[in-house]
Structure 1
Amino acid sequence: MTDPHPPLRSYGRLKTRAIKPRQAALMESLLPALRPPADAFDPRALKPDAAPGWAEVWLEIGFGGGEHMARQAGRRPDVLILGAEPFQNGVASALRHVDEAALANVRIHDGDARELMVRLPDASLDRVFILFPDPWPKARHNKRRIVQPETVAELARLLKPGGQLRFASDWADYVDWTLERLGASRAFRWTAERADDWRTPPADHLTTRYEEKRLGDCAPVFLDFVRA
């Protein structure tokens, strides 16, 4: 009998090289404390005892090496940032950033973001980042992209009215792909009014390590959407 809910598959390499000893130690000691609950949960409850509630809850889908997530968390200690990344070397790197900055407002899901998203309640997120995701540029691999109609629908469920979604890529086809799929949803409004709105990094953007490599086929494009 076919399983109606087969396990999610994270495409691509989950590990490329040996993890450095210090980071490997953090995978054992720090990661278990930062993992969100395995069942459905309210992210606003993930706070130290007696601490005030989080002002906002953000999600970064595919945080890469974690430098953007960690720096945003350092800027906004009143915001809880959930991060999801299946690539183990990236998780190890992120743990180092969290440890060095002594960040108390980061939680890490070391797996596919969609596994985490289904455990979150409706309208529980204030902001979502999808920054320079794997472009899967070959047409036969486009189905592996994280931006799909079902993902858009899930983001619409999770974001509060007025919540923000930022997508960035340096692959022109993926930018067009994303505009088409977000544009097909009545739940989202693209905020751009002029070309500079997508050509110029937003004022609160923090450059990622991948972005600096310029591996795509166009200059970085930044698409900001608002949940209607």
Structure 2
Amino acid sequence: MSDQHSPIRSFGRLKSRPIKPRQAALLETLLPKVRVPPGPVESQGLMPAARETWLEIGFGGGEHMAAQADLHPDVLVLGAEPFHNGVASALRHLDERGLANVRLHDGDVRDLTGRLADASLARIFILFPDPWPKSRHHKRRLVQEGAVAEFARLLAPGGRLRFASDWAHYVDWSLQRIAANPAFRWTAENADDWRTPPADHITTRYEEKRLGDCAPVFLDFVRN
């Protein structure tokens, strides 16, 4: 399948270490309450008073997603993550903060985005996704031309897309593909705009581990 037509797809492990008892209990009790229901996804049905709807693709342990939802209680925050342990961790954050404005999709993000209407999102976050550094695995990267086209469909005019990574090649790869789509405008005006975390960014424990080959880079785009 060519890069241009590659859909959004989640790759990687679905489960690793044993899940702690408290988180396992939340998978049984809380997840069914906050899981995005089947069928077309409409904010009016999930959160009638929502000012906007945001999506985080691959929320990891859920720290950033939960913190943003806590800071913006009038925003419906959708999160997609196939990694079972990450979902369990996110549920703990939702439970501890008592958040009522988050809905989770515990699976491939394509199953969620395909049910979202055109121009239904105000923000999309893709933060430190799996870089798939080996050349033969680049086709597994989330950011492909087809995925960028889907982001453009989902974002309303003036909506924002943020990509962050600490792998230099993935940063260059993503910048080329997103900037090549005329629906997006890169907001950076100088080097500090991508080297310095945005004012509204929430640093996570994963980010602090610095597992990549460069300092974190933040690419912000606006939907034309």
Quickly name the TM-score band, shorter chain normalised. Answer: over 0.9
Indicate the residue corresponding to 1:70 in structure 2: 66
Q: Which runs of 5+ in 2 are unaligned?
A: 1-6
Q: After the TM superposition, which residues 202-217 of structure 1 pair with which residues of structure 2 at under 5 Å, given as runs?
A: 202-217=198-213
Kept in 2: contact 1:170–1:221 (CA 8 A): yes
Indicate the residue corresponding to 1:31 in structure 2: 31
Q: Give, in whole Å, the separation in 1 of the partners of 2:138 and 2:147.
A: 14
Partner amino acid, structure 2, of 1:89: N
Measured against aligned partners, the alpha-carbon deviations of 1:25-70 in whole angstroms (never above 9, x if no partner) come to 10011101111121112123212xxxx6111110000000000000
Measured against aligned partners, the alpha-carbon deviations of 1:85-117 in whole angstroms (never above 9, x if no partner) come to 000000000000000110000000001112100
Indicate the residue corresponding to 2:130 in structure 1: 134
Kept in 1: contact 2:39–2:115 (CA 8 A): yes
Q: After the TM superposition, which residues 146-185 of structure 1 pair with which residues of structure 2 at under 5 Å, given as runs?
A: 146-185=142-181
Q: Give, in whole Å, the separation in 1 of the partners of 2:84 and 2:181.
A: 33
Q: Number of matched residues?
A: 218
Kept in 2: contact 1:57–1:124 (CA 8 A): yes
Q: Give, in whole Å, the separation in 2 of the partners of 1:122 and 1:53.
A: 20
Q: Which runs of 5+ in 1 are unaligned?
A: 1-6
Indicate the residue corresponding to 1:121 in structure 2: 117
SS of the residue aligned with 1:107? strand
TM-score when normalising by structure 1: 0.93
Q: Runs of 4 or more off by more than 6 Å in structure 1?
A: none
Q: Give, in whole Å, the separation in 1 of the partners of 2:41 and 2:106.
A: 17
Measured against aligned partners, the alpha-carbon deviations of 1:110-132 in whole angstroms (never above 9, x if no partner) come to 01112100000010000010000
Indicate the residue corresponding to 1:54 in structure 2: 50
Shift of 1:13: 0.9
SS of the residue aligned with 1:15? coil
The match for 2:96 among 76, 84, 100 is: 100
Kept in 1: contact 2:9–2:110 (CA 8 A): no
Q: Give, in whole Å, the separation in 1 of the partners of 2:176 and 2:125.
A: 18
Indicate the residue corresponding to 1:21 in structure 2: 21
Aligned Cα RMSD in Å?
Answer: 1.3
Indicate the residue corresponding to 2:3 in structure 1: none
1:85 lines up with 2:77 in the alignment: no
Higher RCO (CA 8 Å, separation ≥ 6 residues): 2
Indicate the residue corresponding to 1:43 in structure 2: 43
